[in-house]
Amino acid sequence: MTKQPAIELKNITKRFGKVVANKNVNLTAYRGEILSVLGENGSGKTTLMNMISGIYFPDEGHIFIDGKEAVITSPKEAFGYKIGMIHQHFKLVDVFSAAENIVLGIENGKYNLKDSAKEIKKISEQYGFDVDPKKKIYTMSVSEKQTVEIIKVLYRGADILILDEPTAVLTPQETEKLFAILRRMRDDGKCIIIITHKLHEVLSLSDRVSVLRKGEYIGTVNTSETSESELTEMMVGKKIDLNIQRDEPKNTEERLTVNSITCVDKTGTVMLDNVSFSVKSGEILGIAGIAGSGQRELLESIAGLQRLEYGDIFYFDPKTGKKESLRDKNPLQIRQMGVRLSFVPEDRLGMGLVGNMDIVDNMMLRSYSKGHSLFLKRNKPKSLAMKIINDLEVVTPSASTPVRRLSGGNVQKVLVGREISSSPTVLMVAYPVRGLDINSSYMIYNLLNQQKAQGVAIIFVGEDLDVLVELCDRIMVIGSGRVTGVVDARTTTKEEIGLLMTKPKDDGKENGNG
């Protein structure tokens, strides 16, 4: 059987202001195949797919569906062409059931949940989904929500499916399950396009790989004829060593101890349940877990941003050797106690930095209040900004550019640079390489390793298990706010961590009382 092109892109160009997100991209995807679109963050993968699914409109170029030119100006029209996109961030109504979400927004059809449930069941059986149409979204796990998203587009009759980084939030076991489903859909004659930057997934799943770099189309290769190093070279433009350096911890001593803390959010849900652990100087403690298992609350508790219901946090001062409690202290009080605690939060522009302020003003966020003067002193922050721009190779027009104008990698360099500049004794980083290109990611790993060599106790919350296993000394796994295990990163496997991530509570009780 000859392959039928399902979708063809010709000379697609899209600009955002001066930024060229896509430049003369040509791409073809056939029916009955899985095509990976591979590229670093910021290489224009998502923009390209958004143009196919009607969210953006291309400035130049043409899209052909089944050989005919198509004009797609809205997601609805995209559905008309049987194109369905599964976004990285799910677009579901939390208080609705799976079935309600699936039929939501479909016009000229009768609203009949019973019939829909039947239809959903049929689709589920056909491809091996496991979903209860009556289950409410807010009670679902991330992987279940993703399943609903996929069924949603299938229900609408999509036969070109685009998945944007579908494995970013899944455990290794869930990923395998998803891949099996995608393969079944391929064999059913659907055209599947998956956006990703994870090389091993590309190699294990797809038939062909198209690579984008800085918005430009580099080329397409057959998966069976390529290798990890060739793909990296296409992606980055040069050969790159993908190994992360890891030294043995030196001069370790107790630095921070978390003592059975419990923490509850506004609605009364237990976010951290009796969590205990400690970090030593000169080591990197990794924290793994499904997104939303309490990682954020854990770091914020230590940083003084969460109220603790129970438990305590102790800091061991390296100079005096004194043991000090950080419970019920706000970030300012913690700093005034002489605790050099640095924190690179997950939400860089919403918490770590102020997007509309320039680099200089962001440098003094932590230090502006020092001294008795009513007025700000911008000399030191200015020289610090210049130093970070030079040392970390931040690409910016000037130190007075608002940080939101910088690319993700450069924003992170500014934030990490500032946090390291206060020579911390404890450094907490949450998803520090999320959205970064390969070069920036490796620069961040190197910075963390430098800090480790200087005796800093580092807590690293990550999502990419490959990285956690290669970079950290120990890995603590949490699930639903509880510690489900601590493993030696040098001997563990991804699968072991994956199992711990989804390990059910062993005491059987809901929301244990700490």
Partner 1 sequence: MAKKTDSKKEPLFHVVKRDDMPAGKAWLIRIAAIVFSFLLVGLLSMAITEKSFGETYEIMFSGVFGRLFEGKTTMLWKYLQEIAILLCLALALTPAFKMKFWNCGAEGQALVGGLASIFCMIQFGSSLSYPVLMVVIVVTSILAGAIWGIIPAVFKALFNTNETLFTLMMNYIATQIIAYYVYIEGGGSNVINPVAYGNFPTVGNNDYFVNIVTVAGITVLMYAYLRFSKQGYEISVVGESQNTARYVGINVKKVIIRTMAISGGLCGVAGMLLVAGKDHSINTNLVGGDGFTAILMSWLGQFNPFIMVVMTAIVIFLRLGVAKVADTALLNHSFSEIIVGIVILILVGCEFFIHYSIKFRQSKKEVKA
Query: What does the DSSP 8-state code read for residue 2?
Result: P
Please name which of 126, 133, 195, 118 lies closest in space to residue 161, comparing C-alpha atoms: 195
Stretch that binds partner 1, among 11-19, 84-92, 246-254, 281-289 (CB under 8 A): 11-19
Please name which of 21, 39, 362, 432 lies closest in space to residue 199, comparing C-alpha atoms: 39
Distances (CA, A) of 499 to 110, 178, 179, 203, 271: 43, 16, 18, 23, 20
Which stretches of 214-269 are assigned E, i.e. beta strand? 216-222, 254-264
Q: How far is the CB of 260 from partner 1 (least distance, A)?
A: 25
Q: Within 13 Å, how many C-alpha atoms sit on residue 194's CB side?
A: 30
- Element (H or E) spanning 511, and its range? none
Q: How far is the CB of 408 from partner 1 (least distance, A)?
A: 16
Residue closer to partner 1 (CB basis): 98 or 363: 363
**315 forms part of the interface with partner 1 (CB under 8 A):** no
d(CA 103, CA 426): 49
Distances (CA, A) of 173 to 129, 287, 497: 15, 18, 10
DSSP secondary structure of 31-95: TTEEEEEE--TTSSHHHHHHHHTTSS--SEEEEEETTEEE---SHHHHHHTTEEEE-SS----TT
**79 forms part of the interface with partner 1 (CB under 8 A):** yes
**343 forms part of the interface with partner 1 (CB under 8 A):** yes
**16 forms part of the interface with partner 1 (CB under 8 A):** yes
Please name which of 211, 277, 241 lies closest in space to residue 477, comparing C-alpha atoms: 277
Q: How far is the CB of 125 from partner 1 (least distance, A)?
A: 24
**437 forms part of the interface with partner 1 (CB under 8 A):** no
Among 87, 246, 405, 505, binds partner 1 (CB under 8 A): 405
**132 forms part of the interface with partner 1 (CB under 8 A):** no
Among 11, 173, 259, 274, binds partner 1 (CB under 8 A): 11
Among 23, 35, 38, 81, binds partner 1 (CB under 8 A): 81
Stretch that binds partner 1, among 123-131, 205-213, 300-308, 486-494 (CB under 8 A): 300-308
Stretch that binds partner 1, among 34-42, 198-206, 277-285, 359-367 (CB under 8 A): 359-367
Report the 3 state secondary structure along 282-334: CCEEEEECCCCCCHHHHHHHHHCCCCCCEEEEEEECCCCCCEEECCCCCHHHH
**398 forms part of the interface with partner 1 (CB under 8 A):** no
Q: Which residue has the tokens 């919403």?
A: 350
**69 forms part of the interface with partner 1 (CB under 8 A):** yes
Please name which of 480, 465, 416 lies closest in space to residue 141, comparing C-alpha atoms: 480
Contacts with partner 1 by CB under 8 A: the residue count is: 56
**190 forms part of the interface with partner 1 (CB under 8 A):** no
Among 54, 133, 352, 479, binds partner 1 (CB under 8 A): 352
Cβ contact 297:347 at 8 Å: no
Q: How far is the CB of 298 from partner 1 (least distance, A)?
A: 15
Please, what is the Cα angle at 165 between 162 and 169, to 5 degrees?
A: 130
Q: How far is the CB of 155 from partner 1 (least distance, A)?
A: 13
**382 forms part of the interface with partner 1 (CB under 8 A):** no
Stretch that binds partner 1, among 175-183, 209-217, 320-328, 333-341 (CB under 8 A): 333-341
**318 forms part of the interface with partner 1 (CB under 8 A):** no
d(CA 67, CA 89): 31
Among 112, 229, 245, 369, binds partner 1 (CB under 8 A): 369
**379 forms part of the interface with partner 1 (CB under 8 A):** no
**265 forms part of the interface with partner 1 (CB under 8 A):** no
Contact residues for partner 1, defined by CB under 8 A: 8, 10-11, 16-18, 57, 59-62, 64-65, 67-71, 73, 79-82, 157, 303-305, 330-335, 343, 345, 347, 349-357, 361, 364-366, 368-369, 373-376, 405
